[in-house]
Structure 1
């Protein structure tokens, strides 16, 4: 027997019972565990001289056994046939769409000036310059009023509707009022 095979056989004899126990413990089928054990042995044999230069043959064998076990489980995982007649689950409403009822209610709670500028500029799409002209304001005053109105509306939404924002400031959810 050549030196490379004796090195592999010695390591195999030393660690085979432990590897077998490891695989049998993790698999429901002892015959499949034996098959995987043989795969590990074959991979060790294919290493040839390189196997003998391993710093920790036991660790290598267990890593190969773990990988074989994972591959086996991926290939043989149980699947359940699903009927095509099942209705598709309803997609949850986008956070902003679900928040629309709360926004409508909060608008009624704002001052008439705040409600007007938000409805005109943000909801109806009026240009700020047009709003400024029709209300006898400068563009800078209109921008300032709109920013303050948005801030007050945001505070009211946060308080009354428990609006949650992500780190970028986007709405991610809310708790509607009764």
Structure 2
């Protein structure tokens, strides 16, 4: 899929954009280090690192994704200092590096799920967010296993459609999401964004 090349390069004035991203960055960090004080320290370090880079007059490719990559690298550094090596397996680090922007987008999944019919939202929430097996979901919801799998698959499709309706999304040539912005008309996600920002 082609993406809008006019949006590839962004001015690197970090203090102008920091308010837009700091809440999502904080939650992204907190989910991984599970410590509020450490998360705040890491967040401040991300701000410092990004400012030091931007102060040299450089331009950033995909600003939002770039900030999350800085956050990932800083998380890794802090976990190493804390000797929490069991949380630093290569697969996890690689996954976080490649899906950092998707991690930010996932903050809004629960809000989007509320917009789906319950028949689709509930199985997907149980499977993806609560880590319940498809067999258990089938029993709990009194569905056949085949029906459960079908509903989860359709729910994912509907969720993706909702996300694309609510957000302006850009993709790289290899299909990876490189940026997303919530559209003004999507009141539910705008409200969730405002709620997240109030954390600070």
Q: Under a length normalisation based on structure 1, what TM-score does the superposition of the two structures give?
A: 0.45
**Structure with the greater alpha carbon radius of gyration:** 1
TM-score w.r.t. the length of structure 2 is 0.41
Between structures 1 and 2, the one with greater strand share: 2
Q: Which has the higher contact order (CA 8 A, sep 6+)?
A: 2
